[in-house]
Structure 1
Amino acid sequence: MKAPAVLWFYCVLFLRNTNALSNHTFPTWFKFGAATASYQVEGAWNEDGKGENIWDRFTHRNSSRIKNHANGDVACDSYHKYKQDVQLLKQLGVDFYRFSISWSRILPTGYPDQVNKAGAQYYKNLIKELKANNIEPYVTIYHWDLPQPLQEIGGWLNDKLVDIFAEYARTLFSLYGNDVKHWFTFNEPRQICYEGYGIGEKAPGLKLPGTGPYKCAHVLIKSHAKAYHVYQENFKEKQGGKLGMVVDTDWYEPATSHPLDREAAERTLQFRWGWYVHPLVFGNYPKIMIERVARRSKLEGFEVSRLPTFTSEEINYIKGTFDFLGFNQYSTSLVKHRPEPEIGIPSYDNDMGTFIYRDPTWERGASDWLYVVPWGIGKALKWIKSNYGDPEIIVTENGFSDHDGTLEDYKRIDYLQSYLSSILDAIHEDGVKVTRYTAWSLMDNFEWYSGYTEKFGLFHVDFQSKHRTRKAKKSVDFYRNVIKSRKLNKCNSKTDS
C-alpha cells in the first residue's frame, strides 16, 4: 500500500556516499532561491520597443558558433509567461528569485535618455507578481547582454561605459529599488571579459587574448564601484538594500602536495577569482597578477604592463564596494606546476602559466566543464572566508546539466544534495557566512554557445512546442522538500511501502 502522506519523502536509491551527508540543519535565517537570466529565458527579442543587444547580433550573424544554430529569440518565452513562471517558483517554495534585467529592454540605445516604458513595465509586473506570492526579487543588473549601440563604441573596452553603466544602474534603482533589496552588478565578469574579449567564444566574439580580458575587467570593476557609490549616496538610506558582484570559479586543487603544485593552484585561484574580488576587498589586483603580467609584458616588448593600473584615487574608490559576495560554483579542477610559457603571443592563459585538468574518473554533467566534485565547493568557501575577510557569501548559482532534460533527473538530485551537504558543513563546522543558496536554473533555457543541448532546469521546457510547455522534474520535489524541512534526507524520492 502507499505510504502515508506525512512519510512521503523523495528517495534517490543510488545516491553516492549517503552516509556522508551532513546531519546539520539550515539555519532559520538561511534562504533558498532559483535563478535565470534575461537573454536565456525571456525571448521577445524585438518586441515592445526592445533594442538589439550583443547576443542578438552574435547569434544572428554568427549562428554557426551556436549548437544547432540556436538563439534566444523566443527561448522560454518568459516575457509572455512570467506569471506562469512565478507559479513554478511558488511550487518550489523558494524565498527568492534571482533574475536579470535586459538593459536593451529598458534602454534600447543603452543610454538613460530614452526609457522604454513597455520594457520598464514588464519588470514592474514581474516584481509585483513575485511580491504577491511572497517571493523576493533579487536582480542582476548585467548578465552579458550589452546593448549593441554600446558595443559599437567599443563595449567593455571603452572607459565611457563606467559612467554609462552607472546611469543605467541609477535608472533601475529609481524604477525598482523600493521593492528590490538585493542587487548584483555583474554576473561572472571573467566570462564577459575572457570569453567575450579574449578567446571570442561568447558575444561580442572578440579575440584579443593578451589585452582584451584585462582592459574589459578594468572597466567592469570601475563600473561596479561607481554603481555601488551611486546606490550608497542616493538610494541606500531610503531603500535599505544591499549590492554586490557575482564572481564564478572552480575550486582548484593542487594535483600533488609538492610546493610548486600548491603554488600553482593558489595562483590559479588568484587569476580566476582574485582578479575581480581582490580589488573589491583590498582595492587592487592580486600581487601575483600584477607581478607576472608586468614581467611578461616587459619581455614581450610592451612599454607598460598589459594589466592596467588603478590610480591611488581609484584604489580608495573601489575598495570595500560590496555588501556581500555572490559566488557561482559548479565544478573542481586539478592544477599542476607548468614550466614558464615561452615568450611569444601575449595571452591571459600564459600569464597565469599553470596546467589545469580534471580527473577522468570524476562523474560528468552534459557540460564539458562540469565535473561532480561536491567537496570542492566546501574548500572554496573556506578559502574565501580565510582570504577575503570573512564576508557574507550568497551562492548565486549551482546546478547540474544533462542532455535529455529527463523528468527522472536523479543525477541532478544527487548533485544538488551532495553540494548542499558541503555547504551545510562549511556553515556549521567552518563558520563560513553563507546566507543563501540559488539553484541554477529554474527551467531549461538557452545555454549560450551550447544552445538548447544542455539542460540545467528544475523544470523541463518543451522547446518544440510553441507554448514552451513547462513540466516539473523529480528535482522539484527534492528541492521543495529541502526548503520545507531545512535539512537533507538520505531518502529523497517518493516510494511505496
Structure 2
Amino acid sequence: MTSYFRDYADLCFEAFGDRVKHWITFSDPRAHAQAWHSYNRTWRSKQQGLVGISLNCDWGEPVDMSNPKDVEAAERYLQFCLGWFANPIYAGDYPQVMKDQIGRKSKEQGLDMSRLPVFSLQEKSYIKGTSDFLGLGHFTTRYITERNYPSRQGPSYQNDRDLIELVDPNWPDLGSKWLYSVPWGFRRLLNFAKTQYGSPPIYVTENGASQKLHCTQLCDEWRIQYLKGYINEMLKEPLLSHMQMVTEIVVPTVCTLCVLIAAVLLTLLLRRQS
C-alpha cells in the first residue's frame, strides 16, 4: 500500500505542484515517508515546496504534579498519542516509553516478542527527518493519573498505556461529550512539541468546537469563546521566540555598541585633554 500511496502522491505533485507549495501527506498517518522522499528526490528542486504531516493530540496534565507516578503517566499519554508517529519522523524510532510499556505487556501476555513492530536500521534512517513542518491538531485536555489496578480487558492501545483520563467538572462542556474548552492545554502542547522535536515549524491544522444546540439562528457564542481562548494561547507562543531573540541577539548587540561608544568618547576626551 505504501508504494501505491507514493504513486498517488507523485501524481498530485506533478499535476498541482506548480501552484501548491505546502503538502500534508496524512492526517493521522501511515505511508508518509515514501511520499516525502519522492518529493525531495524528484519535485523539490523544481517546485520549491514543503511536505509535512498532520498529527492530532490532546494535552495530558498530571493530576498531581508532585507525584512522579502521575507525571510519568502524563508523559506516557503524550508519547502514545503524539510521539507514536512524531518520534519516528524526528528521532527515527518509537518513543522509548512505548517500546518499554508494550514490550512488558506483551511478555506478561505470554508473547515471545513485542506487539509493537521493530524498525530496522535502514527503516529508521529512511523515516527520520521526513517532515518539513509539523501539522498539529488539538481540541481539548485531560487530567492524567496512573492506573494502579489491572485491566479486565484484553490487549489494546488504551490498556497498554496504564493510565486514567479525568476531566474537571468546571471546564466548559461543548457539543460533544469528549470535548471541553481548556485553552491553556493548547499552549502546553505547543511548548511540548517545540521542545520534544527541536523547534520545527508548526501549523495548527485542526481546532474547533462542535455544535452545542440545534437552532435555526446564529447561536454559537460558546464556539466564539472557544476559538478566542485557543487562538489567544497560540498567539502567546511566538513571544517565547521573540524573548529568546531579544536575549540572544539584541541584548549582546546593544551591550557591544555601548562599549564601543564609550571607548570612542573616552578616546576623544583624552585627545582633547592632551
- What TM-score, normalized to structure 2? 0.84
AA at the equivalent of 1:187:
S
- Counterpart of 1:404? 214
Q: Please give the alpha-carbon distance, in whole angstroms, between the structure 1 residues aligned to 2:198 and 2:50.
A: 18
Give the alignment partner of residue 62 of structure 2, picking from 254, 269, 284: 254
Render the CA deviation track for 1:282-311: whole Å, top value 9, x for unaligned.
Answer: 010000001111111112122211111110
* Offset at residue 429 of structure 1 (A): 3.2
* Offset at residue 428 of structure 1 (A): 1.1
* Offset at residue 344 of structure 1 (A): 6.3
2:49 maps to 1:241:
yes
Render the CA deviation track for 1:159-180: whole Å, top value 9, x for unaligned.
Answer: xx11111111111111111111
Q: Please give the alpha-carbon distance, in whole angstroms, between the structure 2 residues aligned to 1:431 and 1:271.
A: 31
Within 5 Å, which residues of 2 pair with 1:453-492? none
Q: Please give the alpha-carbon distance, in whole angstroms, between the structure 2 residues aligned to 1:298 and 1:250.
A: 29
Tell me, what secondary structure is at the counterpart of 1:422?
helix
- Counterpart of 1:416? 227
Within 5 Å, which residues of 2 pair with 1:63-82? none
AA at the equivalent of 1:298:
K
Q: Please give the alpha-carbon distance, in whole angstroms, between the structure 1 residues aligned to 2:10 and 2:236.
A: 38
- Counterpart of 1:177? 17
- Counterpart of 2:35? 227
AA at the equivalent of 1:426:
E
Give the alignment partner of residue 6 of structure 2, picking from 146, 163, 166: 166
* Offset at residue 404 of structure 1 (A): 2.1
Within 5 Å, which residues of 2 pair with 1:62-101? none
- Counterpart of 1:330? 139
Relative to structure 1, the CA distance from residue 262 to residue 318 in structure 2 (aligned partners, 3 Å threshold; closer, same or farther) is same
Q: What percentage of residue pairs aligned between the two structures are identical?
A: 42
Relative to structure 1, the CA distance from residue 361 to residue 176 in structure 2 (aligned partners, 3 Å threshold; closer, same or farther) is same
Render the CA deviation track for 1:198-225: whole Å, top value 9, x for unaligned.
Answer: xxxxxxxxxxxxxxxxxxxxxx1xx200
- Counterpart of 1:295? 104
Q: Please give the alpha-carbon distance, in whole angstroms, between the structure 2 residues aligned to 1:340 and 1:300.
A: 16
2:144 maps to 1:304:
no
* Offset at residue 252 of structure 1 (A): 0.5
Q: Please give the alpha-carbon distance, in whole angstroms, between the structure 2 residues aligned to 1:238 and 1:288.
A: 41
Q: In terms of mean alpha carbon deviation, does 402-411 or 365-374 score higher?
A: 402-411
AA at the equivalent of 1:286:
P
Q: Please give the alpha-carbon distance, in whole angstroms, between the structure 2 residues aligned to 1:319 and 1:240.
A: 21
* Offset at residue 431 of structure 1 (A): 5.7
In the alignment, is the contact (CA less than 8 A) between 1:382 and 1:430 conserved in 2? Answer: no
Tell me, what secondary structure is at the counterpart of 2:119?
coil
- Counterpart of 1:272? 81
Render the CA deviation track for 1:345-383: whole Å, top value 9, x for unaligned.
Answer: 211111111101211211011011210011110111011
- Counterpart of 2:265? none
Tell me, what secondary structure is at the counterpart of 1:279?
helix
Q: Please give the alpha-carbon distance, in whole angstroms, between the structure 2 residues aligned to 1:255 and 1:398.
A: 24
What runs of 5+ residues in structure 1 fail to find an aligned partner? 1-160, 190-219, 433-497
Q: Please give the alpha-carbon distance, in whole angstroms, between the structure 2 residues aligned to 1:387 and 1:164.
A: 32
Give the alignment partner of residue 363 of structure 1, picking from 172, 178, 192: 172
In the alignment, is the contact (CA less than 8 A) between 1:244 and 1:325 conserved in 2? Answer: yes
AA at the equivalent of 2:214:
D
AA at the equivalent of 1:188:
D
Tell me, what secondary structure is at the counterpart of 1:235?
helix
Q: Which has the higher helix share?
A: 2
Relative to structure 1, the CA distance from residue 252 to residue 172 in structure 2 (aligned partners, 3 Å threshold; closer, same or farther) is same
* Offset at residue 341 of structure 1 (A): 3.0
Q: Please give the alpha-carbon distance, in whole angstroms, between the structure 1 residues aligned to 2:184 and 2:84.
A: 23
Q: Which of structures 1 and 2 has the bigger CA Rg?
A: 2
- Counterpart of 1:427? 238
Tell me, what secondary structure is at the counterpart of 2:145?
strand
Q: Please give the alpha-carbon distance, in whole angstroms, between the structure 1 residues aligned to 2:242 and 2:192.
A: 12
Render the CA deviation track for 1:67-110: whole Å, top value 9, x for unaligned.
Answer: xxxxxxxxxxxxxxxxxxxxxxxxxxxxxxxxxxxxxxxxxxxx
AA at the equivalent of 2:130:
T
AA at the equivalent of 1:252:
G
Q: Please give the alpha-carbon distance, in whole angstroms, between the structure 1 residues aligned to 2:152 and 2:122.
A: 33
What runs of 5+ residues in structure 2 fail to find an aligned partner? 244-274
> RMSD over aligned Cα, in angstroms?
1.6
In the alignment, is the contact (CA less than 8 A) between 1:245 and 1:325 conserved in 2? Answer: yes
Q: Please give the alpha-carbon distance, in whole angstroms, between the structure 2 residues aligned to 1:188 and 1:404.
A: 30
Q: How many residues align?
A: 240
Within 5 Å, which residues of 2 pair with 1:128-139? none
Q: Please give the alpha-carbon distance, in whole angstroms, between the structure 1 residues aligned to 2:108 and 2:131.
A: 36
In the alignment, is the contact (CA less than 8 A) between 1:338 and 1:353 conserved in 2? Answer: yes
Highest relative contact order (Cα 8 Å, sep 6+), 1 or 2? 1
Tell me, what secondary structure is at the counterpart of 1:327?
strand
Relative to structure 1, the CA distance from residue 236 to residue 384 in structure 2 (aligned partners, 3 Å threshold; closer, same or farther) is same
Q: Please give the alpha-carbon distance, in whole angstroms, between the structure 2 residues aligned to 1:224 and 1:281.
A: 13
